[in-house]
Amino acid sequence: MKHAIYPGSFDPMTLGHLDVIERAAQMFDTLTVSVLNNVAKSPLFSVEERVKILEEATAHLKNVKIDSFSGLLIDYCAKKDVHIVIRGLRAITDFEYELQIAQTNRKLSKGQVDTIFLTTSLEYAYLSSSSVKEIASFHGDISQCVPEFLVDRIHNKFS
Ligand code: ADP
């Protein structure tokens, strides 16, 4: 059975993330989307909130599970007995960062954890969690960036 993990901050999740999730879910028997609990960042949404949001957004995808983790991704993969990580690529800037992380994970895990990249769908190439937060902080329109049910929840964080 093929199982992959899509890790990320998802703070907040965007339609770009959802697009990667939907496409990866078609390629694997099970896809676990896992929220990284990064203590170094001060997030807009708590890990619990982000997990709930992802659960709501992926309710239509029966082979997608939502989880969270802290610590090293390769340790989490070993615990789950998963060997494939999914990441998304938007532009060359993502590539430099993602390449380094993917190679580090492969080396540290002694070849047990490999990364598969899905290139962004063109309509979401511009989209990032940080730009959504910046637009929302100025009360701008984020309806083309995130699922509809999430629009007010993000705006409420800035009201
Ligand atoms: P990070 O895990 O680096 O904090 P995010 O949670 O924002 O980043 O994103 C998780 C993954 O999804 C990363 O691989 C990122 O490149 C990818 N991603 C983010 N936005 C998009 C998008 N619009 N299209 C495709 N992939 C994306």
Tens digit of each residue's pLDDT (9 = 90 or more) over 41-98: 789 999 999 999 999 999 999 999 999 999 999 999 999 999 999 999 998 888 999 9
What are the residues whose beta carbons fall under 8 Å from the beta carbon of 16, sequence distance 6 or more? 88, 90, 120, 121, 124, 127, 128
Cα(1) to ligand 1 centroid in Å equals 25
Q: Is 60 a catalytic residue?
A: no
Nearest CA to ligand 1 atom 3: 8
Q: Is 17 a catalytic residue?
A: yes
Cα(130) to ligand 1 centroid in Å equals 10
Rounded mean pLDDT, 19-26: 98
- Which domains, from first to last, does the chain contain? 3-122 (3.40.50.620)
Rounded mean pLDDT, 32-42: 90
User: Which residue out of 23, 52, 83, 90 is catalytically annotated?
Assistant: 90
